[in-house]
Homo-oligomer: A and B are copies of this chain.
Amino acid sequence: MKVIIDLCVVPIGVGTSVSSYIAACQRVLEDAGLSHQMHAYGTNVEGEWDEVMAAVKRCHEVVHELGAPRITTTIKLGTRIDRDQAMADKITSVQEKLG
């Protein structure tokens, strides 16, 4: 089962600057070989469900290892069985409607 997710990991108890933790998560996604795209409030990731979810778990482990005592993460997660759809297709569909 393919999945497209939007992942936003928020370390708590490490002050207001969280970019080094987010950078560590980017490396996790990179190491996992998953297609991903960071935006200003999260990162889109696509792939097989188990691989994507293993990377999400690894992000939590790595952020805790870096010293964050607490993490709250928000994930949006889409699956569909009617047809294949990649991240880029979703954007293209909207842009075509915008003409």
Contacts and interface: CB of A to CB of B under 8 A. Distances in A.
Given A6-B42, A37-B40, A49-B57, A71 B76 contact: no
A6 to B, nearest CB: 4
Oligomer copy total: 4
A84 to B, nearest CB: 12
Interface in A38-73: 38-42, 44, 46, 49-50, 53, 57, 60-61, 64, 69-73
B1 A61 contact: yes
Interface of A: 1, 4-6, 8, 10, 12-13, 15-20, 22-23, 26-27, 37-42, 44, 46, 49-50, 53, 57, 60-61, 64, 69-82, 87-88, 90-91, 93-98
